[in-house]
Structure 1
Amino acid sequence: MIVARNLSLGLILYYTWKKLLYYLIVSTTIYILHEYSGLLYFNIPSYTIAALGVALAIFLGFKNDHAYGRWWEARKIWGLMVNYSRAWARQATTLIIPNNEAESEEVHAFQKMLVYRHIAFVNALRVFLRRPHDYNVPKQKELFEEDNTYTDAIPFISEEEYQIFRYQNNPPNFLLQRQGEDLKLAFQKGWLSDYRFVKMEETLVDFNDIQGMSERIKNTPLPRQYTFFSKVFVLIHCTLLPMVFITEMGWKTIPIALIVSFVFLALDMVGERTEDPFENKLEDTPLSSLSITIETNLREQLKEHKDNYPPKYESKEGIIL
């Protein structure tokens, strides 16, 4: 997620320079042909490009509105993850009660296991959502791309469980299943009453819902026709621009057409890079930062020493992943 108020020129050019170069070449070529070759004379009415520009602006506005809606929904879903994670740690440490003093250490270890496994679940879900989807599209290399593997779960589950977990088709769901099985064990041992067992199971269902809502956004992209046609319409509009301006502006057509083209190009790219919030891009929902927040909160609820807390997540050049 970009948190800096101002974007660096280098970052902007990193994603736009190829298309801007194309528009510069088109504008320069049209100027040369119009002014010096005598072969072509462009006289396209201005109302033509104005009508196309209005239609394109409406189309891009519709696309960007829905793209932002998807991004904001993803952020709200992971806001719930933070809240329910805190609730889970509180339930694990207060609702699971030993039958006698002799079981205190065993119950404490059991409580810690449930909380730690949940931290593993949060990290696993982050990785699961950021995995490349199966659209046969090469994954774009990002400037700040993170290492995205399940190894972040290693400190929070046993080696035996990790070896089973890592080969699952849906690793996060596997961990939720293990949590449910251990709650059943705690109930059988008398550490949980019927009511407390049901309340903790309801929290696991909430985590299931969070995962399902996240997977819905991940696996159901914004209809691709919006992305495809927005690119086509921007290309047509920006290619025609210098043909309209050339008769009135002369050489000034080149910078003016380039500036107007950049505006429409930026509008198109904002929507394109916002519509899929779980792709490990600069503009994505900051799952890594939220995962660290959850781990820190849960370790604190376990009353661990601050030396065990993960390092605070710092932005890199105005970017939080």
Structure 2
Amino acid sequence: MYIGKSYNLFEFVIWTKGKIYMLLLLSAIPVILYDVLEIKWIAIPWSVIAMLGTATAFILGFKNNLSYKRSLDAQDVWTSILSNSRAWGLVSRDYLNSEISKDLIYRHIAWVTALRYGMRTLKTWESTNETNNVAYRKLFKIPEQETNLEEELAKYLIASELQAVLKSKNISTHILSLQSKTLKSLYDKQEITVLQFVDMEKSIKDFYNLQGKSEQIKNSPFPGQYNTINNLLVRSFTFLLPYGMLNDFDKLNEGMAGFMKGNMIWLIIPFSFLISWLYFSIVQVGENTENPFEGGANDVPISQISFQLEIELRQMIGEINLPEFSMPQNNIIL
């Protein structure tokens, strides 16, 4: 998640530089054909470009709204995980003795850790390995790529539990099942009352639901039909745009004097490039918002939420030697 006031122009240029050369070339070709080679018939009526641009803008706005909604849904899920986890820490501490409380809290931290690692697993439809994102990713580090899951889980689980969960297909699900198994054992021993048992089992059910919602966002790609029509319209518009500007810019020469007389047509290159670049940038923003767990600068900060939870839960049971909050890297937190 980017926490600065806004991206500066330099950062945006770095992020979108892969398109810059192509767009400059597309803007220059029709000008050269029209003015240098005097192929006048390539000019297209501006009304055609205006209609295409309007349709493109409409689809862009629709798609980006859907992308932003996915990001908001992911933020809501992990905000609920944060608040529900705080409640879990309180009841674990207050219902049980300190040793069992620590086991339940540490196991819960392991669950959040396993879940965030699962969310960072790369999917084929995600854009994190595209050239523009790889270049921009030099500005920050993804915590889940700095250490492996086994090392992290070893901090919170005993050896026998660690080996068991690592063999399971869904580690997060297995950890929650261990929590439920522990609660059942405590109830059988009459160390918790039936109301406490029901209350804590309901919390585990809630965590399962939140895990499922997070996994659904992660494992469901953005509908391909919207991406297809979106890319088709944007590419068509940016390709045809300079052809639609030829007649209008050529007419500007009639009232012009001095150096620019007869050369106004060449202004199409910067203006067409700027408009096309803005359209492609909007597309890129949408593509990098629709997958909120992929490890990009616009992700939901699930790593930071996990680190925050660990500190708060361990404080609840009186621990002092706590990890420090991770600092933003170039105004980006993950």
Deviations 1:93-151 (A, max 9, x none): 1112xxxxxxxxxx421110100010011011001111112559884443334142313
Larger mean Cα displacement after TM superposition, 284-293 or 11-20: 11-20
Is 1:271 the equivalent of 2:286?
yes
How do 1:179-190 residues align onto structure 2 when only pairs under 5 Å count?
Answer: 179-190=179-190
Q: Distance in 2 between matches of 1:88 and 1:120?
A: 14
Long gaps (5+) in structure 1: 97-106
Segments of 4+ in structure 1 off by > 3 A? 134-143
What TM-score, normalized to structure 1?
Answer: 0.92
Correspondence for 2:142 = 146
Is 1:262 the equivalent of 2:277?
yes
Q: Distance in 2 between matches of 1:134 and 1:35?
A: 45
Q: Distance in 1 between matches of 2:101 and 2:301?
A: 28
Deviations 1:58-112 (A, max 9, x none): 101110111111100110110110111111111111112xxxxxxxxxx421110
Contact 1:241/1:257 (CA < 8 Å) preserved in 2?
A: yes
Is 1:301 the equivalent of 2:316?
yes
Correspondence for 2:261 = none
CA RMSD of aligned residues (A): 1.7
Letter paired with 1:173: T
Letter paired with 2:2: I
How many residues end up aligned between the 2 structures? Answer: 309
Q: Distance in 1 between matches of 2:228 and 2:14?
A: 21
3-state secondary structure, aligned to 2:155: helix
Letter paired with 2:14: Y
Deviations 1:256-282 (A, max 9, x none): 001101111121111111011111111
Q: Distance in 2 between matches of 1:69 and 1:43?
A: 40
Shift of 1:43: 2.0
Q: Distance in 2 between matches of 1:276 and 1:135?
A: 9
Q: Structure 1 vs Structure 2: percent identity of aligned residues?
A: 31
How do 1:80-229 residues align onto structure 2 when only pairs under 5 Å count?
Answer: 80-96=80-96, 107-133=97-123, 139-140=129-130, 141=134, 142-143=137-138, 144-148=140-144, 149-150=148-149, 151-229=151-229
What TM-score, normalized to structure 2?
Answer: 0.88
Contact 1:187/1:193 (CA < 8 Å) preserved in 2?
A: yes
Correspondence for 2:323 = 310
3-state secondary structure, aligned to 1:156: coil
3-state secondary structure, aligned to 2:281: helix
Long gaps (5+) in structure 2: 250-264
